[in-house]
Amino acid sequence: MQDDSGLRKAEFYLRTLCSVLPNRRTGSAGNRAATDFFARTVAQWDYEIETHPFDCLDFSEGTCSLTSDGHSFPVKVSPFSLGCDVTAERVVVSTVEELEHCECRGKLLLMMESLCAEQLMPKNFVFYNPDHHKQIYSLLESQQPAAIITATEKKPELVGALYPFPLIEDGDFDIPSVYCTAEVGREIAAHRNSVFSLKSDARRIPSTAGNVIARNNPGACEKIIICAHIDAYGNAPGASDNASGTVVELLLAEMLADYSGNVGIEIIAFNGEDYYSVGGQMDYLRRYGNDLSTTVVAINIDDVGYVRGKTAYSLYECPPEIQKRARAAFRDLSGMMEGEPWYQGDHMIFVQNRIPAIAITSEYIAELMANYTHSEKDVPEIVDCRKLLEVAHALKRFILSF
């Protein structure tokens, strides 16, 4: 059934979220403009709106340069890094063992190869923080280089379309760092003069951000949570990641404006999925973690609407009755399919708290991440708003089955 009005709204919401300035990065002015837009839009349908600011960091990458003997090497500032002005000997390490035994105090440390195999989880990231990441941080802080250069390979399955990617993205780590491609790293390592100058005027900017929580029938004994993160990575437009999921929330909120069923509806625009400390998610758990037991199911919408393929849903810790309702609501829709498990989104916050969850994303999520995610190419043109509208109708059908 064609819904021209809904399609026009979806396109308007998508364009609006992707055009805020300077970006939707948590803590930025554009991020606050996006959450204000979300709150204003949903409030017109008489939802109970709740927002709480939390402290966070924005950052200015400024300019940076790495030179030796008049030769310049292209590097980028690691997000949330402190600035520096260092002229020192370059020390090269490729393994944890080399890092452990090197003499790099006060020097420029170039990290390469296996040490840069995957982006380090931030020091205080509570949901996933492997021991070998903790070991690298511990060694860096004990060795105390003056600054760090990390040379990274392409890793689309881990960091999307970013190349190079920042090995370190952590506002709690205070050794200045920059990053470069693996090719540039090899040039730095092979350069005849081991003395380099690294200058960066990057700075951290204390800021605030907030989730937006919209509630319908808040007095009900049980609730269904629908969440999507409204923030975007860095300077990326973030059309698929995750203006798309936020658009579905706005469409669904209007569809459920007159809802009078038995469960409460809680629609959350999370703020921080692409932020080093997942600030919005942590703030939500601090405030409402003890109330999660009343949640029937949590539905997370992320990276939906990709122009290729269908919309994929997957179920996590769902009892048979919820599985039955979900499949009944989704299976006869031509644009939806049951997909493979996907463990990288905000639904895992609920799964870790033993709450049944459903993730809704794109069938070709791997292709989407490899070519567009976290990059300047993540623009509205790669999102089919008809698919966003279909997801909203499907979720309405699922919710009304309770």
Is residue 155 scored above 90 in pLDDT?
Answer: no
Domains of the chain, earliest start first: 4-59+207-399 (3.40.630.10), 62-201 (3.50.30.30)
For the stretch 303-340, pLDDT in tens is 999 999 999 999 999 999 999 999 999 999 999 999 99
Q: What local confidence, expressed as pLDDT, does residue 344 receive?
A: 86
3-state secondary structure the chain: CCCHHHHHHHHHHHHHHHCCCCCCCCCCHHHHHHHHHHHHHHHCCCCEEEEEEEEEEEEECCCEEEEECCEEECCEECCCCCCEEEEEEEEEECCHHHHHHCCCCCCEEEECHHHHCCCCCCCCCCCCCCHHHHHHHHHHHHHCCCEEEEEECCCHHHHCCCCCCCCCCCCCCCCCEEEEEHHHHHHHHHCCCCEEEEEECCEEEEEEEEEEEEEECCCCCCEEEEEEECCCCCCCCCHHHHHHHHHHHHHHHHHCCCCCCCCEEEEEEECCCCCCCCHHHHHHHHHHHHHHHHEEEEEEECCCCECCCCEEEEEECCCHHHHHHHHHHHCCCCCEEECCCCCCCCHHHHHCCCCCEEEEEECCHHHHHHHCCCCCCCCHHHECHHHHHHHHHHHHHHHCCC
Q: Mean of the pLDDT values across residues 149-173?
A: 91
Q: What local confidence, expressed as pLDDT, does residue 161 receive?
A: 83
For the stretch 362-375, pLDDT in tens is 999 999 999 999 99
Is residue 192 scored above 90 in pLDDT?
Answer: no
Is residue 387 scored above 60 in pLDDT?
Answer: yes
Instruction: Give Cα 307 to chain centroid, integer Å.
Output: 20
Residue 207, φ and ψ in degrees, nearest 5: -150, -175
The CB density around residue 96, as the number of other CB atoms within 10 Å, is 14
The answer to whether 62 and 186 have CB atoms below 8 angstroms apart is no
Matching residue, tokens 């990065």? 25
For the stretch 256-310, pLDDT in tens is 999 999 999 999 999 999 999 999 999 999 999 999 999 999 999 999 999 999 9
Tokens standing for residue 324: 């039955």
Is residue 78 scored above 60 in pLDDT?
Answer: yes
Q: What's the whole-number average pLDDT of the chain? A: 96
| For the chain, percent of residues with pLDDT exceeding 70 | 100
Tokens standing for residue 19: 């055009």
- Strand 357-362, strand 311-316: pairing: antiparallel
- Strand 357-362, strand 295-301: pairing: parallel
Distance CA 226, CA 42 (A): 14
The CB density around residue 49, as the number of other CB atoms within 10 Å, is 15
Distance CA 333, CA 316 (A): 21
Q: What local confidence, expressed as pLDDT, does residue 3 receive?
A: 80
Is residue 251 scored above 60 in pLDDT?
Answer: yes
The answer to whether 47 and 253 have CB atoms below 8 angstroms apart is yes
Which distant-in-sequence residues (6+ apart) come within 8 Å of 129 by Cβ?
Answer: 121, 123
Give the global pTM. 0.94
Q: What local confidence, expressed as pLDDT, does residue 127 receive?
A: 86
Q: Is the dihedral of CA 347, 351, 354, 356 positive or negative?
A: positive
Partners of residue 265 on adjacent β-strands: 216, 224
Q: What local confidence, expressed as pLDDT, does residue 126 receive?
A: 85
For the stretch 347-356, pLDDT in tens is 999 999 999 9
Q: Mean of the pLDDT values across residues 137-147?
A: 98
Is residue 2 scored above 70 in pLDDT?
Answer: no
The answer to whether 142 and 94 have CB atoms below 8 angstroms apart is no
Q: What local confidence, expressed as pLDDT, does residue 355 receive?
A: 98
Matching residue, tokens 């200058």? 199
Instruction: Give Cα 288 to chain centroid, integer Å.
Output: 21
